[in-house]
């Protein structure tokens, strides 16, 4: 730690920070939680506003924290109330949710991922982590996707959450129909990516159980693409997203 000045975590502060494990309070207060040294450092380096740091009494790590950020010390019992992890690292950041840019600022010249109703926070975090690896920053989400600042999403993203620009089109189906000719959609019935040289910048991935709605898949302007395989019913959406990201964006690395 770059400075030692800190206060003991009061019950009122503990109760306030505990609320941030719930979506409604994260959205109300525009704050979210990030666990561990790596995510704290990533947030600071990416310019996110750190509202507070909570450290467990046994924490001995090293992280460079802005001098004006309040630091609170918590015992084992209180710190455990702030996370659902079995063996959490002894540092927790409370981070301001930024004012995300409007959909009108989307850059169609850069690659984007569009997620349709991705429900599992781990899948969403994994996709964001993979986007970060390939340098893809623009992420479009339907309103029913897992919430972006869910602690499990943040954790699974491994810092990628601090390097993406999310967008939420007001009417996802209308938006897709408007820009259909610019979109690849992952589909078991699509043409193999082995036969296609990527030339579009938007990749659409569907819900874990139901995929992409039929009215979108049946839009002939949306180009359906598939991953060749030999067995099994389907790939996990996070795995499929990684393969398709490599095909679409990785070719330019």
Residue 3 has pLDDT above 50, yes or no: no
Between 60 and 224, the more confident residue is 224
Mean local confidence (pLDDT), 140-164 = 96
- Please say whether the beta carbons of 208 and 119 come within 8 A: yes
* pLDDT higher than threshold 80 for residue 251: no
pTM of the predicted protein model = 0.91
The residues, ordered by sequence, that sit 6+ positions from 238 with a Cβ below 8 Å of its Cβ are 122, 123, 126, 127, 130
> CB under 8 Å to 110, separation ≥6 — which residues?
136, 137, 138, 201
Q: pLDDT band at residue 85, thresholds of 50, 70 and 90? A: confident
Ramachandran angles phi, psi of 210, nearest 5°? -110, -5
Whether residue 67 is predicted with pLDDT greater than 80 in this model: the reply is no
What average pLDDT does the chain have? 91
Mean pLDDT computed over 200-207: 96
Q: Is 107 left (phi over 0), alpha (psi -120 to 50) or beta?
A: beta
CA angle, 121 as apex, 129 and 94 as ends, to 5°? 80
**What local confidence, expressed as pLDDT, does residue 2 receive?**
45
- Work out the average pLDDT over 37-59: 92
Is the pLDDT at 231 greater than 80? The verdict is: no
């Amino acid at each position: 730690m770059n400075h030692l000045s800190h206060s003991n975590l009061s019950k009122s502060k503990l109760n306030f920070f505990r609320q941030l494990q719930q979506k409604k309070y994260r959205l109300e207060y525009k704050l979210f939680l990030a666990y561990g040294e790596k995510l704290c450092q990533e947030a600071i380096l990416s310019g996110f506003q750190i509202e507070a740091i909570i450290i467990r009494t046994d924490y001995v790590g090293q992280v460079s924290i802005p001098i004006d950020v309040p630091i609170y010390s918590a015992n084992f019992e209180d710190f455990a109330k702030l996370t659902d992890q079995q063996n959490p690292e002894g540092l927790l950041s409370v981070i301001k949710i930024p004012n995300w840019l409007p959909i009108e600022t989307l850059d169609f010249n850069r690659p984007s991922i569009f997620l349709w109703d991705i429900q599992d926070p781990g899948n969403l975090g994994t996709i964001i982590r993979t986007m970060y690896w390939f340098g893809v920053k623009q992420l479009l989400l339907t309103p029913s996707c897992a919430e972006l600042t869910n602690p499990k999403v943040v954790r699974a993203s491994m810092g990628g959450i601090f390097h993406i620009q999310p967008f939420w089109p007001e009417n996802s189906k209308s938006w897709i129909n408007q820009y259909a000719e610019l979109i690849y959609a992952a589909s078991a019935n699509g043409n193999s990516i082995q036969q296609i040289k990527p030339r579009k910048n938007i990749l659409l991935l569907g819900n874990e159980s139901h995929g992409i709605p039929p009215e979108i898949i049946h839009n002939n302007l949306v180009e359906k693409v598939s991953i060749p395989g030999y067995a099994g019913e389907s790939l996990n959406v996070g795995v499929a997203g990684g393969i398709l990201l490599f095909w679409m964006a990785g070719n330019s690395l």
